Structure 1
């Protein structure tokens, strides 16, 4: 039996659940008898342990299980009858005093899902980003792919690709191998010395003063120079200090980039080495990446707009659950990086802001999907999986991968659902298209 639902706060509710003690005791006795059939104890054959010993060993746990089952069932029936959508898990506390004889009572405190007011989608003004892939982007990508396949030859030595030219000094783009030793106040500091250390000049792998000092030097030459570490340098022991470095050049190598020919195309997976097919393949891949990034940027724009116009109270229970999931995700990520997370406890406020955004968006999407029937349809899910598979050598295996695991397929369904929401919102809102540069969209790609 349950009392009428009491409102404690905007979303918080409470009701009292009463159970006849006789029902609890009868169920406990029944389960004890069932347990006694297989119970084991020293000196007794299985199933022959005296009931008193069975009750002493298992009685507390069985009674707890019975109460949890009966209270949980009664709570579900009461909230279902009251047409309440419970958010998170209820908190049960045994009620003391004012309980009828022969009864046991518990107060259930819980939250309900809020009413979500979305406002008028037609009032939204959204900017929809667009971008194109031109021959310029394909050329840039080919250059990046060439640099990824660069190989180096010692300057001044003849090779099938040449000798690198008459200038054998280290210049931007060359790879230098050197020994270095840095001292502060006459003492070598931790990490300040190395032998046969190789890096490419001009790529920012070393501090600018270090690269400037190495530039122009030749194999066998040495140089001593001062180097000032920035105040914000990652090595705190040397940040803001000036060291004296001595470097000795062991080798200077020039970079040879592969020619754009049949062999280069074959190295990119074009069996016959056709350069036209290579460019077409690069274009398809770039367009797929552009489409994905535009989708993500436009989705973020829609989600930001929905959060601004939606009004609701956020259930604390859902916030706590989301914070817990995020904290566990952070721990798993740290563990995968080889870090010890045994005693790691994150303060809840670390995730609070992002957790609230996620909870709000979840409630908003749920309301929109319900209002406009935006559920992911099977044919949409299949189309999305097929699209994923196109970038793999064996698309059929990718399709099997998703459809063989319900959780993987659920992830695709969630993506499709979000896309349905974005399309629906954009169909209602006032849209202004804005062309964005390829490099701006893709960020630093080199």
Structure 2
């Protein structure tokens, strides 16, 4: 096959490939010869069918296969010899669309190649890792939050009126058009006023009730209520209030600690400190990673494939548009224009993505099956009851697999770089760490 270069401009490459009619015919004959020993036809023993008859019977079908295999082989050979790695799927187009048997085949091949990534002296990179400890004040703050979440209720004084946040224990029977309906009655039901457990307007009408009081609550079911027989209809609930209780925060002691799985209060404090410091470490890692990426972005400069930058800029613009228009959940909207800001951010992402990929490849960084399984499991938890379907979806979707694999690979490359770089630790307060995180997010 003849290969002629037609474009060599920056990272753009284009070639003309010509497969002669004789080469194609030879390839078809080669395939027929390979298959001949296993072919049987009426009037001929197995493997004894004459080649002209085989060619008449199977030649047309094999012609397409031979053409595709030869072109694919020529492309593979070209990339092996040139060392080019296409940034995106190469564009392959047959130019003589009126081709007929006996004609040469003319094909155009075009692509953008990935650039040569310059060497980076990772040992010269200096980074600072922030270290924050969980002090007593932070642990006590978390303890108090736990106490609020573990709140109990105690009876108010006799004759006290229910307030927002109180728990009202009551019996009720709901009726629509004077008829009780299924699921509209209960006894000794504990309802926290303001919790939004009941349909709109219900809880507000119980504000001010007292123990022993009877009250009719009139509400209308929403038009989109799940029970169609009740949707949009007015209902009257006959309520009998039995108790009115006020919220009481749990006492921070050994007994509360046991409710959260600790042996005693000291043990719970230790667990809280560990959890807080794990959160701080996660935040500090994010700041460290951002600092590393900023330094790498300053250290390296190389030409970027325009197609990758354009695709990334469009994705960024589309994502930001949806963040600014959260009410639109589908993609049935007009085109989103990319700005210079989108392009600048896209260039940074593409540059760092290519650099990290190169460093990871040279260091033989790999994402293990166990790491992928864990990532899929973590993602599947967002779809309770549909975990199996999610697993099957990921198994059948290469793009989704890549979306899950990419951040794991990136984090492992970051770890690899940090092992070679000079990393010093700096002890900071929780507030200083928080400010660093906020500053990082403001720059995004």
**TM-score of the superposed pair, with normalisation by structure 1:** 0.55
Residue 160 (structure 2) pairs with residue 168 (structure 1):
yes
CA shift in 2, pair 1:199/1:15, >3 Å: farther
Match of 1:15 in 2: 15
Q: CA–CA distance in 2 between the matches of 1:117 and 1:199?
A: 66
Distance 1:351 1:164 in 2: 61
* Ranges in structure 1 where 5+ consecutive residues have no aligned partner: 153-161, 180-193, 225-245, 330-339, 389-404
Q: Look up the match of 2:357.
A: 366
For these two proteins, the number of residue pairs brought into alignment is 362
Correspondence for 1:437: 431
- Residue in structure 2 matched with residue 111 of structure 1 by the alignment: 112
> Structure 1, residues 95-131: CA drift from partner, whole Å, max 9, x if none?
449x9x9743322101111355799999999885443
Distance 2:271 2:353 in 1: 38
* 2:270 paired with 1:280: yes
For structure 2, list consecutive stretches of 5 or more residues without a partner in the other structure: 173-183, 218-235, 320-328, 376-394, 396-400, 439-444
User: Taking structure 1 as reference, are residues 47 and 292 closer, same or farther at Cα in structure 2, changes over 3 Å only?
Assistant: farther
SS, match of residue 89 in structure 1: coil
- Whether 1:80 aligns to 2:80 is yes
How far is the alpha carbon of 1:16 from its aligned partner? 2.2
| Equivalent-residue separation in structure 2 for 1:312 and 1:348 (angstroms) | 30
1:393-412 per-residue CA deviation (whole Å, 9 max, x = no partner) reads xxxxxxxxxxxx99999975
In 1, Cα distance between equivalents of 2:60 and 2:245: 77
Between the aligned partners of 1:104 and 1:377, the Cα distance in structure 2 is: 41
Instruction: Answer yes or no: is the 8 Å Cα contact 1:118–1:311 preserved in 2.
Output: no
Write the distance in 2 (CA, Å) between the matches of 1:33 and 1:115: 44
1:418 aligns with 2:414: yes
Deviations 1:230-280 (A, max 9, x none): xxxxxxxxxxxxxxxx9998754433555445554444334xx23322322
2:283 aligned with 1:293: yes
RMSD (CA atoms): 6.3
From the superposition, tell whether residues 142 and 175 of structure 1 become closer, same or farther in structure 2 (CA, over 3 Å).
same
Q: Give the match's secondary structure for 1:17.
A: strand
Contact 1:323 1:348 in 2 (8 A): no
**Do the aligned residues in 2 keep the contact of 1:21 with 1:102 (CA within 8 Å)?**
yes
State the shift of 1:144 in Å: 3.3
Aligned to 2:146: 145
Distance 1:56 1:266 in 2: 84
Residue 255 of structure 1 aligns to a residue in which SS? Answer: strand
SS at match of 1:13: strand
Q: Does 1:69 align with 2:69?
A: yes
Tell me the residue number matched to 2:247. Answer: 255
Check whether the contact 2:40–2:47 (CA below 8 A) recurs between aligned residues.
Answer: yes
The corresponding residue for 2:179 is none
SS in 2 for 1:361: helix
1:16-41 alpha-carbon deviations (Å, 9 max, x no partner): 22334333333334546767888999
Distance 1:200 1:293, change over 3 A: farther
Aligned ranges for residues 125-144 of structure 1 at < 5 Å?
Answer: 129-144=130-145
Q: Which moved more, 1:32-41 or 1:312-321?
A: 32-41
The answer as to whether partners of 1:91 and 1:108 remain within 8 angstroms in 2 is: yes
- Give matches, 1:264-413, under 5 Å: 264-270=256-262, 273-304=263-294, 306-307=296-297, 310-318=300-308, 353=342, 358-367=349-358, 376=365, 412=408
Taking the aligned partners of 1:363 and 1:204, their CA distance within structure 2 comes to 50
Using a 3 Å threshold, how does the CA distance of structure 1 residues 278 and 63 change in structure 2: closer, same or farther?
farther
1:81 Cα deviation from its structure 2 partner: 2.2
**What is the DSSP-based 3-state SS (H/G/I as helix, E as strand, rest coil) of the residue aligned with 1:106?**
strand
Corresponding residue for residue 235 of structure 1 = none
2:128, 2:423 within 8 Å by CA — same for their partners in 1?
no
User: Hey, what's the Cα distance between the residues in 1 that align with 2:138 and 2:313?
Assistant: 41
Instruction: Provide the rounded CA distance (Å) in 2 between the counterparts of 1:52 and 1:253.
Output: 97
For residues 14 and 164 of structure 2, the distance between their equivalents in structure 1, rounded to whole angstroms, comes to 72
- State the SS of the aligned residue for 2:115: coil
Closer, same or farther in 2 for the Cα pair 1:203/1:71, shift >3 Å? same
Structure 2 length-normalised TM:
0.55
